[in-house]
Amino acid sequence: MASVPNVCGGGWAETKAAYRLLDNARLDFREVLRAHSVPTLERIRQQSRVLCLQDTTELDYSGRPSMAGLGRLNYEQRQGLYLHPTLVISEAGVALGVTDCWHWARLPKGEPDLAESLRWVEGYERVAEMAALAPDTRLVYVADREGDLRALIDRAEQLGFAADYLIRVRHDRKLNDPLDGKLRAAVEAQPVLGTIAFDLPASGNRPARQVTQTIRLARVELKTRSGPGPQVTVILAREEAPPEGQEAVEWCLITNEKITTLEQARARIEWYRKRWWIEVYFRILKSGCRIEALQLRTRERLERALVLYLIVAWRILMLMTLGREHPEWCCEVVFSVEEWQTAWAIHHRTPPPATPPDLGAIVRIVAGFGGWLGRKNDPPPGPKALWQGMTKLSAYVEAVTAIRAAEIKFPQRKRIRH
């Protein structure tokens, strides 16, 4: 993944064609994403439940005065856009597709602007609309603390909870009870229902370790000015005894669902932990696809390029997650015949087999092209190895296709005897 000229390996003619595509005013980026949503919906319909992950990331294009249509980021000198997609994954964690994306540029300070919180409420509305198209699948809207908005909770109730929500608490809201109690105090007063244990991966200066959390539940009614308020279940998962020098891992979550058992609570915590996949997705977009390195002159060009890269980044994430969850599947569920046969021939230095190998084998080969060593104790291939491997595989396939098309036969070199 690189700049447009680098991706267009055919030379200036292909580069010009790519720029004409991005300049085509008739190419509506929404239609491109909608076309991707059609097969995504089919994948959703094959699941009993899916998680719709939403989050926001900033795209920094500072130092590009020639790019029109940018807005300020956290301060005026930093210019760029904000991106807020909906990434859909299965309960097992397989990336199924991208179904929606908000992106916007902030206006200069002092000018009237749209409330950015709308992206969370509209995001839920799009998920609710999708739920109507997959009636046999239960959709769950999953968001971090920024999505803890009363407007979203109220809108979900107005729509009859067409989709469930699971949101990390940011605001300690008042409750509709005679004592005007608060949400956190209500759940902390409950007895411990049980525990959950999981492995926490390393991050920055934090080492990998096992975490054990206690679980408490409370069903509460949020305060309104008059009449009954929306009812939510609060789940408090708290690490009571973290290692010395380590911050305790604690999550307070709310959901519209009535949760009463330990197993139900554990399942919701596992869903929330899978929210991390959208962070991995953003890393693929920025470090793999390098969307912040795009040298495009207008916002319209950028929007069309972004939606194409959203789909490319999803394919890398899908390849990684599917390879972990279903390595026994046939590789042709993901790879074209040309891709897996080329990968096999280059890696093994033998003709490809008549029967397609399993997905896990080809994923490991492609990751090897990207630098994954595959030693006995190595973790499964990550996004960096896969996007670098897929970039090389694309070049290999192009070379093999060109050789076959031109029927090029390389002469055998004579062995020189000394």
| pLDDT single digits (tens) 364-378 | 999 999 999 888 888
β-pair partners for 71: 80
Which of 165, 129, 130, 160 lies closest to 150, judged by CA?
165
Q: Which two tokens stand for residue 149?
A: 């908005």
Under 8 Å between Cβ of 14 and 400:
no
Quote the mean pLDDT of the chain.
86
Confidence of residue 145 (pLDDT cuts 50, 70, 90): very high
- Range in 56-60, 134-138, 140-144, 303-307 the model is least confident about: 303-307
Q: Which two tokens stand for residue 253?
A: 């979550």
Radius of gyration of the chain (CA): 25
pLDDT of 11 over the 80 cut: no
Spatial distance between the Cα atoms of 186 and 9, rounded to a whole number of angstroms: 61
pLDDT of 246 over the 80 cut: yes
pLDDT of 2 over the 50 cut: no
Contacts with 392 (C-beta within 8 Å, 6 or more apart), sequence order:
369, 370
Longest dimension (CA), the chain: 99
For 41, counting Cβ atoms within 10 Å of its Cβ (0-12 exposed, 13-18 middle, 19+ buried), the class is middle
CA distances from 307 to 86, 111, 284 (A): 12, 28, 14
Under 8 Å between Cβ of 165 and 152:
yes
For 375, counting Cβ atoms within 10 Å of its Cβ (0-12 exposed, 13-18 middle, 19+ buried), the class is exposed
Instruction: Pick the more confident residue, 136 or 298.
Output: 136
Spatial distance between the Cα atoms of 398 and 394, rounded to a whole number of angstroms: 6
Which of 268, 255, 274, 327 lies closest to 95, judged by CA?
274
- Range in 5-14, 282-291, 334-343 the model is least confident about: 5-14
For 259, counting Cβ atoms within 10 Å of its Cβ (0-12 exposed, 13-18 middle, 19+ buried), the class is buried
For 191, counting Cβ atoms within 10 Å of its Cβ (0-12 exposed, 13-18 middle, 19+ buried), the class is exposed
| pLDDT single digits (tens) 181-232 | 899 999 999 999 999 999 888 777 788 889 999 999 999 999 988 878 899 9
Which amino acid makes up residue 121? V
Q: Which two tokens stand for residue 77?
A: 């000198």
Q: Which two tokens stand for residue 93?
A: 């964690």
Confidence of residue 14 (pLDDT cuts 50, 70, 90): very low
